[in-house]
Each structure stands twice: as C-alpha cells, then as structure tokens.
Structure 1
C-alpha cells in the first residue's frame, strides 16, 4: 500500500514552530509587567478556541499545527497561581548532571543533547552520546514469603545491566533486543554499512529507546511539475518494558524527543513489528518487503504517484471513488445513516477542492485527500468506558491513534490507490 505524504519537511516545520514559541515566551517574560495580561490572554485564547486542551492539573495538549499532540506544562506562582511560563515537554531521559540524553545529527528544537552537525557513522559513539550504551538482562522474578525468597515460575524482570534498574515484567519466551543490535539491523535492512545516524536516545528511564537514519533515496513525485519531494527516515523504537513489540518504521519524522517519537509512530508510512523472540532481527528479507526499502520500491512509488499526479480527475470521478470506498446510503436507510453519509461526502468534497488548489484536479490530489481523511477526520466512536476515563477529546485521540498504529484503514487506502491507478492505465 502506497500512502501520500506532505512534501514539506515536518521536522523543519515543527522545529521552527517550537523555536518561535520559545522565543515568544522568553520575550514575554522579559517584557514589561503591563504585557502580562496579553500573555495570559494568548494562552487562554488558545485553550478557549480548542487549540490546546487541558490533560492534567497544570498540563495542556496542543490540538492543531505541526506539534499537535505536544504537551505543555504550566508553571504558576505558588502564592498567587499566576502563570509564569508555559514549557514544552521534551520527555528525554537525563543523566546525573541533569543533561538530556540524546544524539542528533541536527540541532533539535529544544536545544538539548549531543549534536554532531551532519551526523556520524560510528555506532559506538552514537550509543555513548545518545545515552543508550547499556545492556538489558532478564532475571527471574522473585518475592519474599514467610521469610524465604521464592521464584515466580515463568516470570522475569528486564533490568538495566549498568544501573540495576528494573524496566518491566516479561514472560519465558521474551528475548531481549539489545540497543546495539538495532544499528546492525538497520544497516542490514538497507544493505548499506557505515550509514550516517540521524538520532538516538532513551525515554522513560531506558524503557524505550529510538534510533533513526535517513532513507538513502528521496522520492520525487512529478519531477519538473509538482516536484513533491518525500524525505523519509527509518526509525526503530525498541521497548524493554515488556508492554509492546519493538517497531521498525518508515516515517517523515526524525525523533529527537518524546513527542516526535510519538509523531513518528503516528505518521508512519510503513511499519514492521519486531517481537521480542529469538531470531526476530534476522528476518531482514521480511522486514524489507514490509517496509518497502528497496530501490525497486522507491522507483515504483515515484512512477505510480507521478502517474497519478499527471492524471486529471473530474469531480464526478472523485464522487465515484467515494462510492467505491463507502457504499452510498439508501433512501430506506435510517436518517442517522443518511446524514452521516452526507456529512462524509461534503467533507471529502471540500477537502478535494482545497487540495486541487495546490496539486491540481488530479488522481494524486484525490489519494492525498482520502489518506488525510482516514487518518485525521474520519468519524470514530470511542468506547463509553474510555470516554468516561479520559474525556471525549482524549478518548477520540486514542481511538484515532490506535487506528493508525494498527493499520485499520490500510485496506481502504489500498483500494483507493488501486482504483485510481485504473484511471492511469485507461
């Protein structure tokens, strides 16, 4: 399945937006006291307009823009409750000196970590600079009972070998994937050694680590015309806590903090789950096939998307595509069903007309619209218990993220691509 991405560099857009926010916050703090009211007003306006929602006593989550999902902490004066600053959370682990643990080939938006301009290929150095040069052991889970130490059958604890910190509870068949193994896996994945590493770092005390590299070949859609350049990264996110599989992703995001790690998963083009079992990292051919990391894939991707970009698509044909993907409501259907169908069509129609302003009235524009709609706009219904626990907005975010992570709409996206390609071939 071939998904369509924005040609803009999301990493640069995100970094620029974050840098602007931090600059404005510093300027505000340095401004005269009579500017205090306007500063608080901007923050409250963002909350009132739904651009930020409260997710904790003093934390707020952004709902729009390149940093949608980013969490901010509000620091207040303990005596008056007055807002002193709004701080974006990078979520990185820190060392004993309080320095953020991160290796990056480019300066991250939060200006933290160890930056090596242009990056390096030395795996050992990246492990050291990124703070992930530790091994993980698996030890039997034990407990005290009646003054004696007992071992729980088939139950183990993952432990950092350098600190002895417990990372998670796992079962008998769980096999640790060491951090260093991720680098070799990525080199083998792209059949290229000595690659330049883009970023690496730990999260949540090392319970999670990420490593990223740039896909060797950019994809250019409609060269000389639309010139949509798609720059992608290969990211491996390893979990040592037993709560999830490791994942290999092809994504437009270069992780440099806890939020961009989430964005990388959210916007992944392709994903391959790596179970913590013996030999998991040896299935390179399977991973290559799933992730599409071959020159043939890149060539085919560019050929097909360019063909779509050069295929005119009338609005009537776009409506046929909608009918192909979602069966039209019948006059005998309940009112609610007919209303939902009408709303979906109106929204897709509006999105298509907007996209044609940039990409023309083409099959490529139609595919972008379908992908964007499914990922960010399609109606979702969170379970009642989830809504009661998290609130409607957060529950909806969780449901949307789950749909993307689990590939719930992959079949619809694939069907859209296949249908549009029939127009090219005709």
Structure 2
C-alpha cells in the first residue's frame, strides 16, 4: 500500500469540480451530506477530505445555473500566469508541467515564474517639509514588478529565491536533484521549492507494506513576519493548500531565521531533518524496529506519563485534565492496535496523531483552528514527538 497524499488530494479536488460541472443536484447532495457548506454569496467551504477548510467560489450563468468552480489555489499571478512549475499535472490545471522534471535551477526559476529578486527599500512618509524615511524600517519589494511584499527591520536578511534552491542542494549534498515543484503564493510573499527524497520508506515489508513517499521542501517568506523553513513531508507543494499541508504533516522541520547566518548551519539542519545520505534507509530501519516490537498497554501508559508529567501539587483541575488526556490516548492506542497490532509503531502513530490533530490548544485571541495551525507551523510539539520516538526506539534494543 503506497501512501500518496498528493494523488488523493488531486482526486478530492477533481471530485469537487466534477460535482459542480455535472449537475446542480449532485452539488446540493454534497451540502446535504455535510461535505461542503455555503458561507455567503456563491462561496463555499470544504468540511471533509484532504482539503478540509479550503474555500471556493461557484460561478453561475445569467439563469443562475452553475457553470464553473473557482478554487482558491493561492498561486501568484502577478506576471499574468500562475507561478508554478511541477512534474505532475496539479488539480487546478495551472502552471508549467514538465514530466520527469528538470535539474537546472535557472530553468525551473523561469518556468515557475520566480526568477525575480527582492530588495529592501526605506519606509518613507510625507511631512510638511517633504518626504522623510523611517530609521531601521524597510519594505521588501519585488524587483520585476515593484510590488511591496512586507515590512522588515534593518537586520532582516533577504533570502533570494535562487538561494533557497542552493540551500536544498547543500542539504542533500547532491547537485543532480530533480526538482518536483516550485512556485510562489500570495503575490510572491511566499516562495516554495520541493524535491523528492530518492528512496521511499516502506514500513513492515511483506506485512503492512506501508510505503511513504517523502519530499524535502523549502518555504521562504519575504514578508518579515515569519521565518523560512525546510521540512520533510509527504506533500508535493503545488498550491496554497498543499503548502499548508506540507507544514502541517511535516515529519521533521528546520526553521531558518532571516539573518546572515540563517542558511549556513547545514550540519545542524541535516541532523534535525534527518538528512544524511542514508536517511531513508536509517528511518525505515528504525520504524521497522518499532513495528516488530510488541508493546503492552501498561507500557504505553508509562510512555504517556513520561511525556506529560503531573506535579504532586497539581490542582484538581490539572489532575482531571491529565486523566482525560490519559483516557483519550488510551482509546486512540487501542484503535491503532486493532489496525497495526499492539506495537511500538502503533504507539508512535498514536502520539503523533494526538499532537497534530487532537490535543487541545489555548487559542489566545485566535480561533482554535488558527491556533492549531500556528502551533504546527512553529513546530511546537516536535520535541515531544522526538522524545516519544527515542523512548520507543530504546525499548526495541
């Protein structure tokens, strides 16, 4: 069984589009089933599937009949076309598709419409005696179109689009890499690049045969409010949705601050991302150790108690919250065990699923969904995932 989230996502989008094109009744049935919901005017939100949370618009003719769906791909169209290069036709049918891919950076930059650079220009304001500039405040500007992207400080270091490609080259220590996709989102405020990791990972060959195709992606921001990052992910980025999913479902991530040394800590980045030349082989071996290691329910309880310790002087409310978490994780592990066996691998899948999708978040002025997304983007739970993996792996030895 090959886990290809990209194919499943593309099929989900195709199903949506075909439902609209074919018959209004089929579209209404999707609303009735709770798969999509109207959010005002001709706009709808997806409630289920691979692109849950995405919105789209239905265009109608003069008689009010549906004739076209306009999905929110989020790609930059500043230069007149969609800023995307990919090796595989995307669901939205946009961009330059090159089957088999290209290894030349400059050709991909051109095809992806991201062969432009960014400069810093002083923030200016008008006063009685003319135009003045603001000390230590700058605007990042596209040099091809003059579009302002964001506001940054004097220490902010611009990472040019080409440099992001070179960073991935340096990470994997190979310069014949085939680029899977590249492009820009939100008017060029975000730029992305992905390459496929050479070897798929197969968990439990001959048993589960769970094959995972992984990509290495770099996502660069030119707005000044977020860092760049590199992630190992099952998603090939080809639109705003898959950029979001790539960070949400990242197996490993490396945050890159926009400073002069931000792209130079290669050894630390390789360690964090697991990107040695034998990465896939080593990771597959570790996961297979977990698959072959039986784990008692009591041992799983010890694991979660070790991950989430409760102080002796904890309040009754804190103790109740801890017990609720314990019960929820116990139920999740038993569900995983029915599908995967009562193993260390099932335990790791349980912990990861809980941290990514089930653990309560404190929104602080954000909706819960936005707070969860922000936590995922910032890698808040990565330490807990790593600790769980190391603890379970020690049990296999």
TM-score (norm 1): 0.85
Does 1:64 pair with 2:48?
yes
Q: Is the 8 A contact 1:329 1:341 kept in 2?
A: no
Q: Secondary structure at the match of 2:114?
A: coil
Does 1:376 pair with 2:371?
no
Q: Which residue of 2 aligns with 1:3?
A: none
Q: Is the 8 A contact 2:202 2:209 kept in 1?
A: yes
Q: Is the 8 A contact 2:231 2:273 kept in 1?
A: yes
Q: Which residue of 2 aligns with 1:271?
A: 253
Q: Is the 8 A contact 1:13 1:66 kept in 2?
A: yes
Does 1:218 pair with 2:190?
no
TM-score (norm 2): 0.90
Q: CA RMSD in A?
A: 2.7
Does 1:193 pair with 2:165?
no
Return closer, same or farther for 1:180/1:54 CA change in 2, 3 Å cut-off: same
Return closer, same or farther for 1:410/1:135 CA change in 2, 3 Å cut-off: closer
Gapped regions of structure 2 (runs ≥ 5): none
Q: Secondary structure at the match of 1:163?
A: coil
Q: Which residue of 2 aligns with 1:392?
A: none
Q: Which residue of 1 aligns with 2:382?
A: 410
Counting matched residue pairs gives 397
Distance 1:377 1:74 in 2: 32
Q: Which residue of 2 aligns with 1:288?
A: 270
Cα shift at 1:250: 1.1
1:10-33 Cα deviation digits (max 9, x unpaired): 11111111112212221115xxxx
Gapped regions of structure 1 (runs ≥ 5): 1-5, 30-34, 387-394
Q: Is the 8 A contact 2:45 2:55 kept in 1?
A: yes
Cα shift at 1:204: 1.4
1:90-133 Cα deviation digits (max 9, x unpaired): 11122554x32210110111111110011111212211111101
Distance 2:259 2:31 in 1: 47
Q: Is the 8 A contact 2:21 2:66 kept in 1?
A: no
Q: Which residue of 1 aligns with 2:300?
A: 318
Distance 2:284 2:39 in 1: 41
Distance 2:146 2:304 in 1: 56
Distance 1:276 1:162 in 2: 22
Q: Which residue of 1 aligns with 2:15?
A: 20
Q: Secondary structure at the match of 1:281?
A: coil
Return closer, same or farther for 1:300/1:242 CA change in 2, 3 Å cut-off: same
Cα shift at 1:206: 1.0
Q: Which residue of 1 aligns with 2:337?
A: 356
Distance 2:264 2:391 in 1: 36
Return closer, same or farther for 1:322/1:155 CA change in 2, 3 Å cut-off: closer
1:172-191 pair list within 5 angstroms: 172-191=154-173
Distance 1:20 1:192 in 2: 38
Q: Which residue of 1 aligns with 2:71?
A: 88
Q: Which residue of 1 aligns with 2:104?
A: 122
Q: Secondary structure at the match of 2:359?
A: coil
Q: Secondary structure at the match of 1:211?
A: strand
Distance 1:283 1:44 in 2: 52
1:388-399 pair list within 5 angstroms: 395-399=367-371
Q: Secondary structure at the match of 2:3?
A: coil
1:169-227 Cα deviation digits (max 9, x unpaired): 11111121111111111111111112111111111111111111111232222333323
